[in-house]
Amino acid sequence: MAMNYLDLARLAAAEILLVVTALVVLSVDLGLRQCDDLARRTRWAVALGVAGCVSAVVILWELVPEGAMPAGMFASDALTRGVKAGVLLLTAGSLLLSRGIRFTPHVGEYVATVILGAVGMLLIVSSENVLILFLALELASLCLYILTGFDKRSAQGTEAALKYFLFGGMAGAVLLFGLSLVYGATGAIEFGKIAQGVAESGVSPVLLMGLVMVMVGLGFKVASAPFHFWAPDAYQAAPTPAAGFIAAGSKVASFFILAKLAESAFGPAMGSSAWGRFAPGWSPVLATMAAMSMVWGNLAALMQTNVKRLLAYSAVAHAGYTLVAIAAGGPEGLSAVTFYAVTYAITTLGAFGVVGLVESATGGAELDHFAGLVKRSPRLAVCLGIFVLSLAGIPPLAGFFGKFYLFLVALDGSVGSLGLLWLVALGAATTCVSFYYYLVLLKKVFVEDAVMPERAAPGTGVESAVVWASTILVVLLGCFPGWILTPLRSALMAVGW
Amino acid sequence: MGLAHTIWISLLGAAWVALLGGRRPGAARAVALITSLAGLISGLVGALGFGVGNELVTLWRVPWVPGLGIDFHLAADGVSVVMVLLTGIAAVAGVLFSWNIEHRSNEFFGLYLLLIAGVYGVFLSFDLFQFFAFYELAIVPKYFLIAIWGSTRREYGAMKLALYSFVGSAMVLVGVLAMVVVSGNGSFDMVKLASTPLPVGFQAWAFPLVFVGFAILAGLWPFHTWAPTGHVAAPTAASMLLAGVVMKLGAYGALRVAMMLMPLGAKQWGGVVAGLAVVGIVYAALVALVQTDFKFVIGYSSVSHMGFVLLGLAAANPRGVAGAVLQMFSHGVIAGLLFGVVGRMVYERTHTRELSLLEGLRLARLLPFAGVIFVLASVASMGLPGFSGFVAELQVLMGAWQAFPAAALAAGVGVVLSVAFTLRVVQRAFLPDDTVPVTEPEHRLAPITVPEKLGALLLLGVSLWVGIAPRGLMEWIDAGLASPGFATLRSTMGWP
Amino acid sequence: MTGHWITLLTFLPLVGALTVAWGGPRSGAARRRVALLVHALVAMSAMGLAVAFDTSATGMQFVERLSWVPGLGVEYHVGVDGLGMVSVLIAALIPLLAAVVSDRVAAGREGVYYPLLLLLQFGLLGTFTALNFFHWFLFWELGLVPAYLLVRLFGGKGAGPASFQFFVYTMVGSVALLLAFLALRAAGGSFDFLELAGADRGGALGRALAQRLPWGGPDAGNVLGWLVFGGVLLGFAVKVPLWPFHTWLPDTYTAAPSPVTMVLTGAMSKMGVYGLLRIAWPIFPEHFAAAQGVLVPLALATVILPTFTAFVQRDLKRVLAYSSINHLGYCLLAVFVVGTPGSEAGTAAALNGVVLQMLNHALTAATLFGFVEVLERRTGGVRDLEAFGGLRRAAPVFCGLMGISVFASVGLPGLNGFVSEFLIFRGIFAAAPWAAAVASLGLLTTAVFLLKVMQRLFHGELSVAWVGFPDLTMRERVWTGAAVAGMLVLGVYPDLVLQWTNPLVLRLAGGN
């Protein structure tokens, strides 16, 4: 198929719209800067950004055809469109949560960075070519580095951003090196071709090394142990809405591409992570990362006193659960990963929304700031309770079904019946550990009395609306997982998995 | 009105209470009473309409997650019917015994009804996913009920209970998923799973995993330690529900999932389970014999009596299993009553549960009604004939004789010990020796209120009714055990 | 004969208990009157039943049989034969006597005391008429709870520990009994006493147990059979009691208020003897025969050892308690000894003696404890034998009537005790002369310590404290007189009772 710019424009209409939106936000903000009313500027920037995201979703659905650019540079199908829509909505949610930002006068830049980050994520999702993938990853990552350190008054934030940047740079280098080794072994940069190459040449040591490095590089992006060290600092120090964005949108894209890459590019090099039948490939690498993440994340979370940090370690643990399904492989694995990543992202976004509201009311996000939350704002407490219970995997919430599905897929996956039992058992065991710290947080919220003085909270209608929307989604997707699962599976089927 | 409505009624009630807001405590409890009564009546109507057929009646079935073979499948056999009735009775009594809750009462009753809904759901679930979902749903409200409204070391007790429960359900989750995968049905339908024989080698390890996972909640020794602390920490209604229905969830799960779906494993592990059950019966009774806290005695007594349920299940013969189910019902009623007397009638008036302090108060004079009820409840709890406990323990022992005679003998020792510790607590709390110096209570003890009396009479009446005319319940249970779901269990165990 | 006579009789006390507790009367006196009326009605109904009893038939009479819990083989099955008739009479009459003298003990708490007493009677009547284990066990335990409460709530010093011991001890026996019967049922047996009778014949029980209950080893059935037999025996042995399971008895009898002791010794101890005769003996003939070597010495110990203990007691009630153990020991001895093949006549005599002894001991012991109550209400609870003397001068009627009762207890010819003990000894002698010889030692020692009691109480110097000791009031004369008359009648004309028991006993003896 010959390259045609019109086709490209149609396929990438959503991304293009977003880039335009970012530019518009920047210029409108410049125009408004004279009036120097931060709240007004924020309102405009956020409104434009959200409008851009929502229109992008509409465009994605109505205008963008199915199709692909040559060499896997850009693919659009039902699956990627769905995932992209999810990323966009999460981005919109993060933007809405940012409506009350006070940490910077550069709102336009902030919103534009978020949107550019989203563009990066959309490109990640669409890519079927490792070069594009790398570029898109770096675009998204750069935006996230910037967002982490956006609060320039905060030394901690700057430190975290630097840490994130340095670690991220290293990881990017490793990823790139790994990809070059893969190219060396297979002579291809396109997913499908790589797969052919791997199938022909078998799992050579060079390929294996490249594979491990690619997994390490992507493992960094999804904050899997032992490559997670940036996450707690970034989550804690980043402005809360930005942290929500890092935790939600970027995770969906990274997990999706990790699963897709593993399956469609390295499928033949899967190896085996079944207990007692280990064979080299990416599956054992991911299984090891999963095990480490589940154990490390949950144990470390036990010791946290800051809720954002706690959520960070919980994110590490959840990365572990998600990797279990990727390690299991197969289309069901991709389906489970996508479902889990999306519902997890919604939950986390909502949780960061609540954290942001509590922070603005009490001035911090330590556990003690949450004490007695149910007395001062019962609705917020209920929402937080639902998010936390969903993270803990309690029915009938989305997190429960997600975990259930993950484990089911892992046991039933292509690894062979019950091959991954050890990983699932480990997952179930670490889930029990996680209950402890989730319950500690809930105990603060529902059982204990307030210990922190409370400031008058600024207007929080929009933030509350996002929180409520997430809550309702978490409950509904838990009760009716078919709403996502059925289209997801038919999309997978349509793609031919 | 029917069995399935019990769940919706309770959920609606919970929502209604939540929407009331915290302004009117009276309204919340009224709604809770109406809801729980409606649930009980609905359960009764459904039960009476159920008859005593051997079939499994599907109440409602819709595809839930079609791709994964998960249905929303509410159904009932005789065993479910009995458990639903128990839940209804315990729920009504619990509300009556929490009539005086003023602190955050709408949250209390909201969580309470949510818990009830979960319990109803478990008893009516015939899809493994749904079963597990309802099972977990029942755990969370329990944590809050204890942590917020509890007493002694409530946060510790609540956390311990919740973590034990979660560990149990994590084990169950792994086992359940493995079962579905190994069966190769691609379906979570329990009846379908039951008719698919799983490999022996698989059952050999999956059965103990799932059984113990459930039995943790049923107070299986040595995983019982959550129970006494949890009971003691819990507010009255919560300990009534905890002992009354939540521990039954564990036992029910052990029967409905572990045994029904993996009979070969049950056969293989029966001896071990029987051994643990008997150790639990005797050990808990011995521990109860030396407690100084009134509620701890009852807490350990629950563990001891639940040991009979597990023993009956371990025996895995018709009488043993029927006895176990009846014991679930019976213990649910009697333990609820005992906790009601201890927690509500005594503790909330005297503010102490130390037997040495209660001795001086001469409670039989101050609270004669509580005294009479407690003596009768103790008699029932000892397993004396005329009350439900006897009919149940009798069948369990009969089953145990057939399967593990040594266990039957040891359980007999447990019965004697249970008589001893129950009588000891009766004497110390209500009928102390004249040599103990009389102390005056710090303030006048409020008389027993009407809701308390109603609740106590309801539970006592049920226990007496089942003790004297167990025929109805037993027919349901026997029919339930003869239903298609248990077919593989029956043939594996060689039931006639 | 059919009709619901036994049901009516049995449930009459229950109705009475509910009426007295929550029904009409509010004042203590009214409650007492209603309770007495109910007891009297029960007694009259029982007498009516006795009159209607067909003395020529050997089977069960007044049978009622209804399905109850079919799944468990539980039926409502009642009926009486000669043994049951005598027991029902005991259960109907003794509580009446006790109720008559309960006014002091129950004072102020009539609303608790009389219902409990009526419930106790309810349990007794049920126990003596039930023919299905489930149903029987229900009443067996039902009697225990009110008895416990009566001792605990109305007892004197040490009632707490004593009642605890009483309850738990009895429960040990009950649980053993329960386990044994469940084993029988699990082995394919029935709960029905009539169907169970003879289950052991020819080792059938052992075989059934071996077949149905997995135990391991070729002798499994026998081991289990012995366990089951032991369980049943233990249940009854505690209740009667058999040495060395008797230790609860003296404490309980002493701590209980005297009217309650009357019922405990008069009626409740008969539950054990009744159970042995009705249940244990017919079901386990082989085991009884095989275990004679152990059981007979135990029974002999029960007969003799308490009499020596009684020597050194100073508390009148404690002395009488030990004498009770001794008297029921004869019953045990008879049950354990007879059944040796080839001694039908002796067996018949002994069994007749046992049934007669039940009634006689009920009457005599209850009356004696009644006299203790009479004494206590005059002395304010003092029962120490050392504190008395010469009462004969102050209260001749009291001493005369009590003296007759003591002599009846000793077994003086012409009074009731003689006849039954004679029959028992005759039966024992035929089967095991050595046992009769040893047991006769008990007769002697009983006589010695009982006479010592009389001497301490009635003879010697009248101590100053009791100078104004009032003699029996009119009401007391009436009931003690009636009781003593009963002793005389039974002593002179034992056929009154034997006519009921003889056909049954002949059948039992012949069938064995």
Could you give the count of Cα atoms lying within 13 Å of C210 in the half-sphere of its Cβ? 15
Please indicate whether, in this complex, the C-beta atoms of C71 and B474 are within 8 angstroms of each other.
yes
> How far B435 CA sits from the closest chain C CA (Å)?
9
| Amino acid, res. C376 | E
- Structural tokens at position B328: 């679930």
pLDDT digits (tens, 9 = 90+) for C362-404: 989 999 898 888 888 888 777 887 777 777 878 888 888 888 8
User: Which residue in chain A is spatially nearest to B19 when comparing CA positions?
Assistant: A379
Interface of B with A (CB under 8 A): 22, 63-68, 107, 129, 132-134, 136-137, 139-140, 143-144, 147-148, 155, 159, 162-163, 166-167, 170-171, 173-174, 177-178, 180-182
> How is residue A12 annotated by DSSP?
T
Chain A residues within 8 A of B63 when measuring between CB atoms: 482
The pLDDT value recorded for residue B256 is 92
> Is residue C183 within 8 Å of C213, Cβ to Cβ?
yes
Q: What is the ipTM of this complex?
A: 0.90
Share of chain A above pLDDT 70, in %: 96
Q: What is the DSSP letter of C384?
A: B
- Predicted pLDDT of residue C512: 43
What residues of chain C, 153 to 172, have a C-beta less than 8 Å from chain B?
153, 157, 159-161, 163-164, 167-168, 171-172
Residue A246's contacts (CB-CB under 8 Å, 6 or more residues apart) are A144, A147, A148, A234, A235, A238
For residue A120, which amino acid is it?
G
**What does the DSSP assignment read for A59-89?**
HHHHTPPSEE-GGGSSEE-HHHHHHHHHHHH
Conformational region of residue A129, where left means phi above 0, alpha means psi within -120 to 50, and beta covers everything else: beta
Query: Exposure of A201 by Cβ count < 10 A (0-12 exposed, 13-18 middle, 19+ buried)?
Result: middle
Selected for mutation to probe chain B from C178, C181, C190, C245 (highest B CB count within 10 Å) is C178
Give the three-class secondary structure for A451: coil
Considering CB atoms only, which of A417, A428, A481 is closest to B181? A417
Q: Do B148 and A447 touch (CB under 8 A)?
A: yes
- What's the CA gap between B90 and B241, in Å, rounded? 7
Phi-psi region of A187 (alpha: psi -120 to 50; beta: other; left: phi over 0): left
Distance from CA of B399 to the nearest CA of A (A): 35
| Contacts B143 to A, Cβ<8 Å | 439, 442
Q: How confident is the model at residue C209 (pLDDT cuts 50, 70, 90)?
A: confident
* Cβ separation A428–B171 shorter than 8 A: yes
Which residues are within 8 A (CB) of B117 and not within 5 positions of it... i.e. 6 or more apart? B7, B10, B11, B14, B137
Q: From CA A392, how far away is CA B318, in angstroms rounded? A: 39
Pairwise pLDDT comparison (C156 vs C479), residue with the higher score: C479
Q: Could you list the pLDDT tens digit for every one of the 496 residues in chain B? A: 588 889 999 999 988 888 887 667 788 888 889 999 999 999 999 888 887 677 888 888 888 888 888 889 898 888 999 999 999 999 999 999 888 888 888 888 888 999 999 999 999 999 999 999 999 888 888 888 888 888 878 888 888 888 899 999 999 999 998 888 888 878 888 888 888 888 898 899 999 999 999 999 998 988 888 888 888 888 888 888 888 888 899 999 999 999 999 999 999 999 999 999 999 999 999 999 998 888 899 999 999 999 999 999 999 888 899 999 999 999 999 999 999 888 888 888 888 888 888 888 888 888 888 888 999 999 999 888 889 999 999 899 988 888 888 888 899 999 999 999 999 998 888 888 777 788 887 788 888 888 888 999 999 999 999 988 888 888 889 888 888 888 888 888 888 7
Contacts of residue B478 in chain C, CB cutoff 8 Å? 71
**Does C183 reach chain B within 8 Å, measured CB to CB?**
yes
Q: Which chains touch C (3 or more CB pairs under 8 A)?
A: B
Q: Which residues of A touch B (CB under 8 A)?
A: 374, 378, 389, 394-396, 400-401, 404-405, 407-408, 411-412, 417-418, 421, 424-425, 428-429, 431-432, 435-436, 439, 442-443, 446-447, 481-482, 485-486, 489
Residue A154, number of CB atoms within 10 A of its CB: 16
Q: For chain A, what percentages of helix, strand and coil (3-state, to nearest 5) are there?
A: 80, 0, 20
Looking at residue B59, its amino acid is L
The span from the CA of B206 to the CA of A366, in Å, is: 42
Cβ <8 Å between B174 and A421: yes
pLDDT band at A429 (very low <50, low <70, confident <90, very high): very high
The number of residues in chain C equals 512
For residue C1, name the pLDDT band (cuts at 50, 70, 90): very low
With an 8 Å Cβ cutoff, are B163 and A428 in contact? no
Of the candidates C324, C306, C321, C481, the one whose C-alpha atom is nearest the C-alpha of residue C404 is: C481
Residues whose CB is less than 8 angstroms from the CB of residue C283 and which lie 6 or more positions away in sequence, other chains included: C184, C196, C197, C198, C199, C200, C205, C232
Mean pLDDT, residues C347-353 taken together: 84
pLDDT for position A263: 85
**Cis check: omega of the bond before A396, within 30 degrees of 0:** yes
Q: Which two tokens stand for residue C61?
A: 């009479």
pLDDT(C2) > 70: no
- Residue C65 in this model has a pLDDT that exceeds 70: yes
What average pLDDT does the segment C459-487 reach?
Answer: 82
Q: What is the pLDDT of residues A357-412, one digit of tens each?
A: 888 888 888 888 888 888 888 888 889 999 999 999 888 899 999 999 999 888 88
At A144, the pLDDT band (50, 70, 90 cuts) reads very high
Reading phi first (left if > 0) and then psi (alpha if -120 to 50, else beta), residue C503 is in alpha
Chain A residues with CB under 8 Å of B181 CB are 408, 411-412, 417-418
Give tens-digit pLDDT for A219-237: 998 888 888 888 899 999 8
From the list B397, B416, B423, which residue is nearest C172 (CB)? Answer: B416
Which position has the token pair 């999306």? A342
Is C317 within 8 Å of C254 (Cβ atoms)? yes
- Total beta-carbon pairs less than 8 A apart between chain B and chain C: 96
Structure tokens at B24: 């009117």
User: Domain locations in chain A?
Assistant: 7-495
DSSP symbols for B435-483: TSPP---SSPPPPPPHHHHHHHHHHHHHHHHHHH-THHHHHHHHHHHTS
- Spell out the alpha helix ranges (H) of C187-243: 193-196, 204-212, 220-239
Whole-number pLDDT of residue B344: 85
The total of other beta-carbon atoms located within 10 Å of residue B136's CB is 24
Please give the pLDDT value at position A145.
93
User: Which of C89, C67, C152 is closest to B433 using CA atoms?
Assistant: C152
Chain B residues lying within 8 Å of C157, measured CB to CB: 434
Contact call for A439 and B162, based on CB within 8 A: yes
Phi-psi region of B60 (alpha: psi -120 to 50; beta: other; left: phi over 0): beta
Q: Give CA separation, B480 vs A108, B318, C483, in Å.
A: 68, 11, 58
Residues with Cβ within 8 Å of A461's Cβ and at least 6 positions away in sequence, in order, are none
| pLDDT over threshold 80, residue C427 | yes
Per-residue pLDDT reduced to its tens digit, C223-256? 777 888 888 889 888 888 888 888 888 888 888 8
Give residue C214's pLDDT: 61
Phi, psi of C216 (to 5 degrees): 100, 140
Which helix H or strand E contains B190, and what residues bound it? helix B190-194
Q: What are the structure tokens assigned to C263, written together?
A: 């019922």
**Do residue B182 and residue A425 have CB atoms under 8 angstroms apart?**
no
Q: In degrees rounded to 5, what are phi and psi of residue B107?
A: -65, -40
With tokens 């409840």, the residue in question is B377
Q: How many whole angstroms separate alpha carbon C468 and alpha carbon A231?
A: 100
- The 10s digit of each residue's pLDDT in A14-71 is 999 999 999 999 998 888 877 767 888 888 889 999 999 999 999 988 888 888 888 7
Cα–Cα distance for residue pair A275/A273, rounded to 1 Å: 6
- Which residue, among A387, A411, A433, would best test binding to B if mutated, counting the most B CBs under 10 Å from its CB? A411
**B403: closest CA of chain A, how far (Å):** 33
> Which chain B residues are within 8 Å of C161, Cβ to Cβ?
433
Six token digits for residue C411: 């077994």
Q: What is the 3-state secondary structure (H, E, C) of B423-436?
A: HHHHHHHCCCCCCC
Phi, psi of B443 (to 5 degrees): -145, 165
Kindly provide the residue ranges of all beta strands, DSSP E only, lying in C374-484, ordered along the sequence: none
What is the value of pTM for the model shown? 0.90
Q: Which long-range contacts (CB under 8 A, 24 or more apart) does C405-409 make?
A: C405/C364, C405/C367, C405/C368, C405/C371, C405/C483, C405/C484, C405/C487, C406/C368, C406/C450, C406/C451, C406/C453, C406/C454, C408/C360, C408/C364, C408/C484, C408/C487, C408/C491, C409/C323, C409/C327, C409/C364, C409/C365, C409/C368, C409/C446, C409/C450
C160 to chain B: closest CA residue: B433
Chain B CA closest to residue A375: B104
> How far apart are the CA of B63 and the nearest CA of chain A, in angstroms?
10
B405–C183 CB contact, under 8 Å: yes
